[in-house]
Structure 1
Amino acid sequence: MTVKKQDLIGVIATRAKAIDFWSFMHYLPNPDPVLKKMGKDISAYREIISDSHVGGCVRRRKAAIKGLEWRITPTGNEKTDEILTALFDRLPISQIINQILDATLFGYQALEVMWENQNGLLLPVAVVGKPQEWFVFDEENRLMLRTKDNRNGDLVPEKKFLLATQQADYMNPYGRADLAMCFWAATFKKGGFKFWLEFMEKYGSPWLVGKHPRQAQSHEVDELLDSMEEMLGTAVAAIPDDSSIDMLESASKSGSSQVFDDFLRYCKSEIAIALLGQNQTTEAEANRASATAGLEVTLDIRDDDASLVEGVFNQLLAWICELNFSVETLPTFDLYEQESIDKAQAERDGLLVGLGVQFTEQYLMRTYGFEEGDIVVQEISPNLSLQKKGTDKVDFAEPIPKSIVDSIGEQLEVEGEPFVEEWLQTIKDQLSQAESLEDFRHQLDSLIPELSFAEYGKVMAWASTTAHFAGRQSVEDERTKSPSLAKRG
Structure 2
Amino acid sequence: MIFDWFKTARRRKEALFAQQTETGGGLTPMLYLERWGNMTNKLTPSRLASILQAADDGDITEQHVLFSDMEDRCEHLAAEIGKRKRALLTLDWEILPGRAKDKRAEDVAAAVREQFDMLPTTSDLLLDLADGIGHGFAALEIEWAQAGGLHIPAAFHHRPQSWFQVLRENRNELRLRDGSYEGAVLWPFGWVIHTHRSKSGWLPRVGLFRTVAWAYLIRAYALESAIMYMQVHGLPFRLGKYPPGSREEDKAALKTALANLGRDASGIIPQGMEILFESPANATQDIPGILVTRCEQGMSKAILGGTLTTQADGKTSTNALGEVHNEVRHDILTSDAAQIAATITRQIIAPLAYLNCGVSEPALLPYFRFDTRQAEDIQVFADALPKLAAVMDIPAAWAHEKLKIPQAEEGEKVLSVRQQEGPQPPAPLTAQARTGGKADPYPDQTAIDAMLPEASLSAACADLLAPLMDEIREGMEPVELLVRLGDLYPKLDTATLQELMARAIFLATVVGEASAAEEADGDA
User: Could you state the TM-score of these two structures normalised by the residue count of structure 2?
Assistant: 0.56
Pairs within 5 Å for 1:381-396: 381=419, 387-388=425-426, 393=428
> Which residue of 1 is the match for residue 114 of structure 2?
86
> Which residue of 2 is the match for residue 112 of structure 1?
141
- The amino acid that maps onto 1:381 is Q
Matched, 1:295 2:330: no
Q: CA deviation at 1:366?
A: 5.8
Helix, strand or coil for the counterpart of 1:59? helix
> Which residue of 2 is the match for residue 61 of structure 1?
84
Matched, 1:134 2:185: no
* Larger Rg belongs to: 2
- Report the Cα distance in structure 2 between the residues aligned to 1:113 and 1:238, rounded to whole angstroms: 68
- The amino acid that maps onto 2:91 is L
How many residues end up aligned between the 2 structures? 354
> Which residue of 1 is the match for residue 194 of structure 2?
164
Matched, 1:309 2:340: yes
> Which residue of 2 is the match for residue 35 of structure 1?
55
Decide whether the 8 Å contact of 1:209 with 1:247 is kept in 2: yes
Residue of structure 1 aligned with 2:66, choices 44, 54, 58 = 44
Pairs within 5 Å for 1:42-441: 42-50=64-72, 51-74=74-97, 76=103, 80-91=108-119, 92-132=121-161, 133-137=163-167, 139=169, 141-148=172-179, 150-167=180-197, 172-174=202-204, 176-214=206-244, 245-251=275-281, 253-255=282-284, 258-285=286-313, 287-288=317-318, 289-315=320-346, 316-325=348-357, 326=359, 329-337=364-372, 365=400, 368-374=403-409, 378-381=416-419, 387-388=425-426, 393=428
Change (3 A) 1:312 1:158: same
> Which residue of 2 is the match for residue 406 of structure 1?
none
Q: CA deviation at 1:312?
A: 1.0
- Comparing 261-270 with 113-122, which one deviates more in the overlay? 113-122
CA RMSD of aligned residues (A): 4.4
- Report the Cα distance in structure 2 between the residues aligned to 1:109 and 1:312, rounded to whole angstroms: 11
**Bigger RCO (CA 8 Å, 6+ sep):** 2
- The amino acid that maps onto 1:324 is N
Decide whether the 8 Å contact of 1:360 with 1:377 is kept in 2: no
Q: CA deviation at 1:179?
A: 0.7
Change (3 A) 1:36 1:249: farther
Decide whether the 8 Å contact of 1:165 with 1:174 is kept in 2: no
> Which residue of 2 is the match for residue 450 of structure 1?
none
Helix, strand or coil for the counterpart of 2:286? helix
- Report the Cα distance in structure 2 between the residues aligned to 1:64 and 1:387, rounded to whole angstroms: 53
Cα displacement string for residues 81-136 of structure 1 (whole angstroms, at most 9, x for unaligned residues): 45423322232211111221122211122333333444443333333333333242
> Which residue of 2 is the match for residue 430 of structure 1?
none
Change (3 A) 1:345 1:234: same
Helix, strand or coil for the counterpart of 1:49? helix
Change (3 A) 1:319 1:217: closer
Helix, strand or coil for the counterpart of 2:283? helix
User: Could you state the TM-score of these two structures normalised by the residue count of structure 1?
Assistant: 0.59
Helix, strand or coil for the counterpart of 2:235? coil
Helix, strand or coil for the counterpart of 1:309? helix
Q: CA deviation at 1:297?
A: 2.0
- Report the Cα distance in structure 2 between the residues aligned to 1:272 and 1:312, rounded to whole angstroms: 26
Gapped runs of 5+ residues in structure 2?
Answer: 1-49, 385-393, 437-524
Decide whether the 8 Å contact of 2:222 with 2:289 is kept in 1: no
Helix, strand or coil for the counterpart of 1:153? coil
Helix, strand or coil for the counterpart of 1:195? helix
Gapped runs of 5+ residues in structure 1?
Answer: 1-29, 350-358, 402-489
- Report the Cα distance in structure 2 between the residues aligned to 1:363 and 1:38, rounded to whole angstroms: 50
- Report the Cα distance in structure 2 between the residues aligned to 1:86 and 1:93, rounded to whole angstroms: 14
Q: CA deviation at 1:174?
A: 4.5
Change (3 A) 1:215 1:136: closer
Decide whether the 8 Å contact of 1:386 with 1:395 is kept in 2: no
- Report the Cα distance in structure 1 between the residues aligned to 2:251 and 2:239, rounded to whole angstroms: 12
